Structure 1
Amino acid sequence: MEEFFAKENQVITIVLIGVLLLLLMGVALLLFFFFSRKKIVEKELEKKSLELNHQKEMIKSIIVTQEDERKRIAQDLHDDISSKLNVINLNANLLKDGELRPEEYSTINDTILEATDKTLESARKIAHNLLPPILEKFGLKDAIEELADSFNNSKKINIKYNLEYSKAYLTPQKELHLFRIVQELINNSVRHGKAKNSILNINCTPKNLLFSYADDGCGFDVKSQNHQKGLGMKNIESRVAILKGNYAIETALNKGFKIKITIVNSPK
């Protein structure tokens, strides 16, 4: 009888140990899943935080770009328009006061006409920089061709281009963003890259618009903090994001600069 109870106690002990082991394994699994989930949540929060910071940086770059553009326009208005209008006003008052010799009347009239012509030309130039009329009237292809040809004629840089772009492939608003990207890239090549030559290509497929640009300038170190935070690249990055596209850059010091942009063709 005692042997029976001893065996029974032994079985109970084994069962209890088994139950405890199962409980410990269960607790261990719960802790494992808890901490794993916690790490996943932390990584997701970190990812969201990075995305928000990235969006904030893009918004900041857009605001800074807009402010710089406003300052440039204000400066152009002050330098090119106001100064010429002052000349016209001054000479108009001389005419009003009278008592001038015939040759003085002729000189003042010529001065007013010349200042008026220059004012009109400056106004057209400012309006063209704000929104090129050719872009609105004829579309992206003609606008980029005009832009590239104007740089070629200025001898600042030699631009070769191949634009296989279907008219109205992008909406007018998207065309404007892509045009601004092209402007920024060419200006960067001239001002910062000191490039002599560049190549610009656009190809359209049923699904994507493929854009590429390359120059033979001095390039830059992509790991450099100065270039990572550069306003020009931030502006381009912001516009690519608005276009819901993606881009890849290839560059190095004294190795030129290349960028490829892919824009998905979405319904208008």
Structure 2
Amino acid sequence: MLLKVALLLSMLIQLGAAIIAVSLIRRTRYNVSWILISSGFVLMAARRLFEFSTLFWETQLVSKEDVNSWIGVFISLLLFFGLIFIRQIFNWQDRVEQIRKEGEMQTLSAVIQAEEKARQVFARDLHDGLGPLLSSIKMTVSAVDLTKLDQTNKKIIERSCTATDEVIATLKEISNNLSPHLLKNYGLTKALETFAGRLFENSFIRFEMESDIGEKRYYYDLEISLYRVISELMNNSLKHAKPQCVKLKMSEERNLLRVEYRDDGCGFDQKKQTEKGTSGMGLENIRSRIKSLNGWLYIHTKPEDGVVVTIHIPLR
């Protein structure tokens, strides 16, 4: 009696599972793998129904063992091929995910390239348009005969010349920040050394740089993006961290460009800033630029413990 009840429950459960599986075939848009697996559920329910029937009808055209064996074979085949098709679905999903990531990288790269192109155009317009005009103004003011002026007007002319010199110097600095000429001409190491020298010149911050790439050149997107990233890190250190020392290390290993940036400043709590939504556009831009290069970025920091930023970029 107990065996009959157990077989009845098992039959009802497997029958319910088969009905549910078959009803989902349309939802899966008649996916081959799901059809095969549903067929396996149907055969499993049929085997339970056959086993239950043998408890009441003993006379059979074929033996119970033969029927169970053949049904088991068919179930195994259906489930095996169903799993093969499911594996193909997973492979297809992985391919779609890869295409999505590649699309994101291409989009980010296109945005960054457009931004850099706009910077270059603006820098050229400043240098070629406003630069000569300011130089002309300085020449005109300098041509004034100071001996014929009283002391007050002489001071005005001198201040005008000084102000014009400062504007020209500022213009050159803005133009260089928009489109770094040293980066184009000499590469990353020289450009970053010069940028750090100017940035930390009037501070008490000691800058140390270790690089084994020398004057080696890379493709433009990598150089300009890495230059922007490290420049942003240096600016952040100067403005917020108040460190005594900033260290930059660049090396190339196994077709991989490795960058390590660290300062001994006040650090910050990443988790709290992320929760408050105050991580800043600077860090988001840094992550976007590294992502556009298919690179990897890790930031280790905590309050009063400085910042260590590790960057790995695969080389073409």
TM-score normalised by L of structure 1:
0.65
**SS of match in other structure, 1:203:** strand
Cα distance in 1 for residues equivalent to 2:216 and 2:210:
17
Shift of 1:184: 1.0
Shift of 1:46: 9.1
Partner of 1:204: 252
Q: Is 2:105–2:291's contact at 8 Å kept on the other side of the alignment?
A: no
Q: Which amino acid aligns with 1:190?
A: L
Aligned length: 237
Cα distance in 1 for residues equivalent to 2:306 and 2:164:
44
2:193 aligned with 1:132, yes or no? no
Cα distance in 2 for residues equivalent to 1:225 and 1:57:
27
- Coordinate RMSD, CA, aligned: 4.4
Q: Is 2:269–2:303's contact at 8 Å kept on the other side of the alignment?
A: yes
Cα distance in 2 for residues equivalent to 1:44 and 1:105:
76
TM-score normalised by L of structure 2:
0.57
Partner of 1:185: 233
Bigger Cα Rg: 2
**SS of match in other structure, 1:237:** helix
Deviations 1:113-138 (A, max 9, x none): 23322321221121122123332333
Deviations 1:43-65 (A, max 9, x none): 649956984897599579969xx
- Residue 145 of structure 1: which of 193, 197, 200 is its match? 193
Q: Is 1:58–1:235's contact at 8 Å kept on the other side of the alignment?
A: no
Q: Which amino acid aligns with 2:296?
A: N
**Gap runs ≥5 in structure 2:** 1-58
Cα 1:164–1:226 change in 2 (3 A) is farther
Cα 1:187–1:156 change in 2 (3 A) is farther
Shift of 1:214: 0.9
Partner of 1:5: none
Cα distance in 2 for residues equivalent to 1:110 and 1:142:
36
**SS of match in other structure, 2:303:** coil
Aligned runs of 1:1-268 on 2, under 5 Å? Answer: 10=60, 12-14=62-64, 15-27=66-78, 36-37=86-87, 40=90, 44=94, 47=97, 51=101, 102-103=149-150, 105-155=153-203, 157-205=205-253, 207-223=255-271, 224-226=274-276, 230-266=280-316
**SS of match in other structure, 1:190:** helix
Shift of 1:26: 4.7
Cα distance in 1 for residues equivalent to 2:244 and 2:112:
29
**Gap runs ≥5 in structure 1:** 1-8, 96-100
Q: Extract structure 1 runs of 4+ deviating beyond 6 A.
A: none
Cα distance in 2 for residues equivalent to 1:127 and 1:255:
35
